[in-house]
Structure 1
Amino acid sequence: MAAELVEAKNMVMSFRVSDLQMLLGFVGRSKSGLKHELVTRALQLVQFDCSPEVFKKIKELYETRYAKKSSEVAQPQPQQHRSPEALSIHSSYDRGSTVARTSISTTNIDYPALYGKYLNGLGRLPPKVAKPEVRLVKLPFYTTLDELLKPTELVPQNNEKLQESPCIFALTPRQVELIRNSRELQPGVKSVQVVLRICYTDTSSPQEDQYPPNIAVKVNHSYCSVPGYYPSNKPGVEPKRPCRPINLTHLMYLSAATNRITVTWGNYGKSYSVGLYLVRQMTSAELLQRLKTIGIKHPELCKALEFVPRSYRGECR
């Protein structure tokens, strides 16, 4: 049954709007809404109410669609049409903005279950490609509880300097409870947080947090505060910016509703990747206890390992 559920979710993720509407109409559910809303509704149907009849209908829609696609493969495609890989959930949103819209690349993302993952409405299931994954350095003052989105490359689709990369995901009930029941570090700031991390797309070694130029992060309908630049007292020296995980928790829907995150970034030649994580910020007492459990090490080894990024200093409370 578990294998059938995974198969059904993968098929649903590849459906067009018309396929999703036919599926939802088949079970008597609402067919109105944007594509990402239809996808979420269909995935909830698969997750909680996937009867043999529903699974049969999903398979029928999937086979009908790809039988039709295979018969058209020999026909030349108009140049202005985007390839299926370029289609994303946000394609039904307003395209009137002068900011170029791009989806987060999904070449290294497994097709997800409903909760806690990036939902991308690709036109078809791409083949599995084994490639090195971007890794981020471990956070010194946080314990990682869940990986909501693997480090995923921000891919520009034109020559515009300013790009937008949307991401749609939902938290599981367990993740929501962890956040709600966690203690407050200060008013409005929970110890369990959903954080966004951005780094260079480099698979040779674990990467530190690094922001692209002109970064802005929008969560649902509000912009999230991003650390600013440190002032510089030296003439001719550019101010530095502390690059650290960005806490999105206070702007998210702590329910079964989907959350939409949009990263605006400057495309100036360097490649960046983003990841989403559920973390718990440690207290000073917990950090001290961790140091005690490590034990005494040789001074030379400590010198070699001694590294706490300046951007993280002051985060431990």
Structure 2
Amino acid sequence: MLLTFRVSELQTLLGFAGRNKSGRKNELQQRALELLRLNSKPVGVKIRDLYKTIQADQLVSHQMYGQSGPTNESIDQNIHRNEDTRVMRRVGQPGQSQSSAQHAKDLPPAHQASMPQSQVGRSGPVYQQPNYGNVGPQRTNNTVYPTYPYQQQKIISPMQLQPSQPYVVHPDVKLKKLPFFDLLGEILKPSSLMPQGTMRLQESPFTFHLTPQQATDIASSRDCRTGAKMEYIIQVQMRFCLQETSCEQEDYFPPSVAVKVNGKPCPLPNPIPTNKPGVEPKRPPRPVNISPLIKLSPTVPNQISVSWSADYGRRYAVAIYLVKKLTSTELLTRLKGRGPRHPDFTRGLIKEKLNEDADSEIATTSLRVSLACPLGKMRMSTPCRATTCMHLQCFDASLYLQMNERKPTWNCPVCDKSALYDNLVIDGYFQDVLTSNKLIGDSNEIQLLQDGSWENLVLKKDKDKDKNESKTETKTRTKIEPDTVDLDETNSSVPSSKPAEKKNAPLVVLISSDDDDDDDDDDDPSNNKTAKKFHASNDHNTRSSSGSLDDLVIIE
């Protein structure tokens, strides 16, 4: 048995016994035989374990050729049988053993190590020869050891990692109600997407029929106007979800999902892009309208094929419903039909918030609230908020419903928390504020007081602007009064006319020649006018006195 050990097994055995593990194979075999002579039970058990590992390695090579082997018990029996056979050979054939030992001595040491110990000359027997008088004849045929049934490691597919629990055809799954759709009927109950085989990509077929009334309702509700996309008010809706029965489930698409309705591919919501490497983008949780692809006949079945990738630890379900599509206007009408919340409820919240800090050194005496919707930045017409929100600020119900009609998120625009349609309520306090005559027309902000009342909030900028406008009006009035001036120059009492007369005083120029005077009077008519006035009063005196005197000419 030890002679069949490889170097690794011999080193393991010697290391187990605390002996030296270095050296050649024949040296390791000699040390192993010395251990065997000690008749130690732990060493014997270790030898048997190592021998079983050798047999297991042989099984791997035999399985490549389609061979099979017995169990561990047969291996132990073969071990005992082989040992007894070798002992019987030593006892019954002494001459043959001597000749074989003599032949083995002529071989090199490496060949001697590979030969059975019975054929190699030894100074003494390895085993103590027991008494075999009462032992029956044993089989002496030198057969090959049977193979050991070793289980090879196989690559486990994702489908084999699925839970061992059986799939339920119609699990007890409930999907969440969609606000913009009224449920009219259940065409296909929630059904499991059951994988077949070990392939990752799976495919499941489903079949359903429409009743005559359902086919008639769908056909009569569609809008077939030319040039426009065909719209269905009553739709056939397909929804995917996880198989969780603990609570209501949201829409959830399986990975790599693809749907075909009557052999035609069905468009699905576009995946949301992601920047994470190796992560498949998810699709937004929305229902799928398959109305344009189905056959509106109660006698013809509709075939649906769903392909998806198997996911470890998750199971999926698909369901088909008959629904009626609603608009944001219809939802707003339903919301108003519930009635507003009583103003005293909001008034109590205001008092509670303002009286919380009454005992502290820095207390809040008022709250500032905007009447403009955070979505449209305009004054609200229908103030509402969710019952799950803790703030007083409201938003416009009409804009909120229109926003979720295009992209359903149902998050509060004030606190960004979940604000579902069923939790919305119209605030009667702010509705009274918006319809009150006390509210200023251009003001979109109010101030809430400790007693629950409110007042208009006037900013300092507006106050300063009003003061500046009043000051400018008074200044313009005072400037108009001193600017009135009497333009009557004939009144000598007005002092402002005197400097004007001084400015307009004539300039007197002396001219020495009479001829030049005549020439100048003819050439300049403006001077003649002033000169005539002067000559009219002094013509007689000037001419009588002397002809050589110079004439006086007034030039303005």
- TM-score, normalisation: structure 2: 0.31
Q: Which residue of 2 is the match for residue 251 of structure 1?
A: 293
* Cα distance in 2 for residues equivalent to 1:288 and 1:280: 16
* In 2, Cα distance between equivalents of 1:210 and 1:201: 10
User: Residues 154 and 273 of structure 1 are in contact (CA less than 8 Å); yes or no, is this contact kept in structure 2?
Assistant: yes
In structure 2, C-alpha distance between the alignment counterparts of 1:294 and 1:216, rounded to whole Å: 41
Counterpart mapping for 1:197-276 below 5 A? 197-232=239-274, 239-256=281-298, 257-269=300-312, 270-276=314-320
Q: Partners in 2 of 1:260 and 1:300 — Cα distance?
A: 42
Contact 2:255–2:309 (Cα < 8 Å) also in 1: yes
SS at match of 2:387: helix
Q: CA deviation at 1:230?
A: 2.8
Alpha-carbon distance between aligned partners in 2 of 1:300 and 1:312, rounded to the nearest angstrom = 15
Aligned to 2:216: 177
2:87 maps to what in 1? none
Residue in structure 1 matched with residue 337 of structure 2 by the alignment: 293
| Counterpart pick for 1:147 among 172, 186, 191 | 186
* Match of residue 234, structure 2, among 192, 196, 201: 192
Give the Cα–Cα distance (whole angstroms) in 2 for the partners of residues 293 and 106 of structure 1.
Answer: 42
Answer whether contact 2:270 2:283 (CA < 8 A) is retained: yes
CA contact (8 A) 2:208 2:301 kept: yes
**Bigger relative CO (Cα 8 Å, ≥ 6 apart):** 1
What CA distance in whole angstroms lies between the structure 1 residues aligned with 2:308 and 2:281? 19
1:244 to partner: Cα distance: 0.9
Match of 1:314 in 2: 406
| Compared CA separation, residues 252 and 315, structure 1 to 2 (3 A) | farther
AA in 2 matched with 1:142: F
Gap change, CA 1:235 and 1:277, over 3 Å in 2? closer
Q: What amino acid sits opposite 2:340 in the alignment?
A: I
CA RMSD of aligned residues (A): 3.2
Rg larger in structure: 2
1:71-108, CA deviations, whole angstroms, 9 ceiling, x for partnerless residues?
xxxxxxxxxxxxxxxxxxxxxxxxxxxxx9xxxx6643
Q: What is the CA-CA distance between 1:159 and the residue it aligns to?
A: 1.7
Secondary structure of 2:235's aligned partner: strand
Percent identical residues: 42
SS at match of 2:305: strand
Give per-residue Cα distances to partners, 1:268-304, cap 9 Å, x unaligned. 1210011100011102221111211233357662439
Aligned-pair distance for 1:312?
A: 6.6
Give distance in 2, aligned partners of 1:261 and 1:193. 16
The 2-side partners of 1:216 and 1:235 are apart by: 23
Decide whether aligned partners of structure 1 residues 106 and 177 sit closer, same or farther in structure 2, where only a CA change above 3 A counts.
Answer: farther
1:277 aligns with 2:321: yes
SS in 2 for 1:290: helix
- Partner residue, 1:64: none
Work out whether 1:303 is the aligned partner of 2:389: yes
Q: Quick one: which amino acid aligns to residue 271 of structure 1?
A: R
Gapped regions of structure 2 (runs ≥ 5): 1-158, 160-166, 346-384, 391-399, 409-556
**1:46 corresponding residue in structure 2:** none
8 Å contact from structure 1 (residues 244, 312) kept in 2: no
**Deviation of the 1:189 alpha carbon:** 2.3
For residues 215 and 187 of structure 2, what CA distance do their matches in structure 1 show? 13
Q: Secondary structure at the match of 2:389?
A: helix
The verdict on how the C-alpha distance between 1:240 and 1:169 changes in structure 2, with shifts beyond 3 A counting, is: closer
1:136 aligned onto 2:188: no
Distance 1:210 1:180 in 2: 29
- Choose between structure 1 and 2: higher helix proportion: 2
Which of 202, 205, 220 is residue 163 of structure 1 equivalent to? 202
The residue identity in structure 2 corresponding to 1:215 is V
SS in structure 1 opposite 2:207? strand
Aligned partner letter, 1:189: E
Distance 1:273 1:213, change over 3 A: same
Q: Is the 8 A contact 2:222 2:230 kept in 1?
A: no
**In the aligned structure 1, how far is the partner of 2:389 from the partner of 2:323?**
28
1:176 aligned partner, one-letter code: A
The residue type paired with residue 314 of structure 1 is R
Q: Residue 301 of structure 2 aligns to which amino acid in structure 1?
A: T
The change in CA–CA distance for 1:312 and 1:259 in structure 2 (over 3 A counts) is farther
Other-structure match for 1:96:
none
**TM-aligned CA distance change 1:213 to 1:220, over 3 Å:** same
Shift of 1:191: 1.2
- Secondary structure, counterpart of 1:206 in structure 2: coil
Distance 1:176 1:106, change over 3 A: farther
Distance 1:148 1:190, change over 3 A: same
Letter of the 2:338 counterpart: I
Instruction: Tell me if the contact between 2:327 and 2:405 (Cα under 8 Å) persists in the aligned partners.
Output: no
**Structure 1 residue 231 displacement after superposition:** 3.6
Instruction: Return the offset for 1:241.
Output: 2.2
Residue type at the aligned position of 2:197: N
Paired position in structure 2 for 1:61: none
Which amino acid letter does the alignment assign opposite residue 188 of structure 1? M
- SS at 1:303's partner residue? coil
Distance 1:187 1:208, change over 3 A: same
Asked whether the equivalents of residues 200 and 207 of structure 1 are also in contact (C-alpha less than 8 Å), the reply is: yes
